[in-house]
């Protein structure tokens, strides 16, 4: 059974943390792209937290890629953390390094963003 995605956004200055919770699938468009579009216009850095995402299918990855491409066009930096070893590998194989960097945890992502 697919668990619907919830996204909590924490905005501090020009940094936003998007914390995903649940499965990211084609049904997650509002939770991924909708929440991205609601970020403050002053956002320069976006941290994507995947720590509570047990499942991410190809449609979900496509939504994340759309977010990253939109952020890139807006000159925003995107950093990811909390990915399982499997999804770390998938993101690397898909060449997402063009749009993001992968970090073990929030502390490492924040340090890289500074």
Structure confidence by residue, pLDDT tens digits, 1-20: 667 899 999 999 999 999 99
User: Cα 3 to chain center, whole Å?
Assistant: 17
Residue 102 has pLDDT above 80, yes or no: yes
Percent of the chain with pLDDT over 90: 88
Q: What is the mean pLDDT of residues 34-41?
A: 93
Q: Is 1 exposed, middle or buried (0-12, 13-18, 19+ CB in 10 A)?
A: exposed
Token digits of residue 40: 């403050």
For residue 114, name the pLDDT band (cuts at 50, 70, 90).
confident
User: Cα 97 to chain center, whole Å?
Assistant: 13
Cross-strand partners of 66: none
Residues in the chain: 114
Answer yes or no: are the C-beta atoms of 79 and 103 closer than 8 Å: yes
Answer yes or no: are the C-beta atoms of 62 and 32 closer than 8 Å: no
Structure confidence by residue, pLDDT tens digits, 54-78: 999 999 999 999 999 999 999 999 9
**Domain 6-113, CATH number (from 3.30.750.24, 3.40.50.300, 1.20.1440.230, 3.40.50.620):** 3.30.750.24
Residue 41 has pLDDT above 70, yes or no: yes
Rounded Cα distance, 105 and 27, in Å: 26
């Amino acid at each position: 059974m697919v668990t619907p995605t919830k996204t909590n956004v924490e905005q501090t200055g020009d940094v936003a943390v998007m914390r995903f919770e649940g499965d990211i699938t084609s049904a997650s468009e509002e939770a991924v792209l909708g929440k991205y579009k609601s970020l403050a216009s002053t956002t320069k850095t976006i941290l994507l937290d995947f720590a509570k995402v047990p499942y991410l299918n190809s449609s979900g990855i496509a939504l994340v890629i759309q977010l990253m491409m939109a952020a890139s066009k807006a000159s925003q930096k995107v950093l990811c953390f909390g990915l399982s070893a499997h999804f770390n590998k998938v993101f690397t194989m898909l060449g997402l390094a063009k749009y993001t960097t992968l970090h073990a945890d929030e502390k490492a992502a924040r340090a890289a963003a500074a």
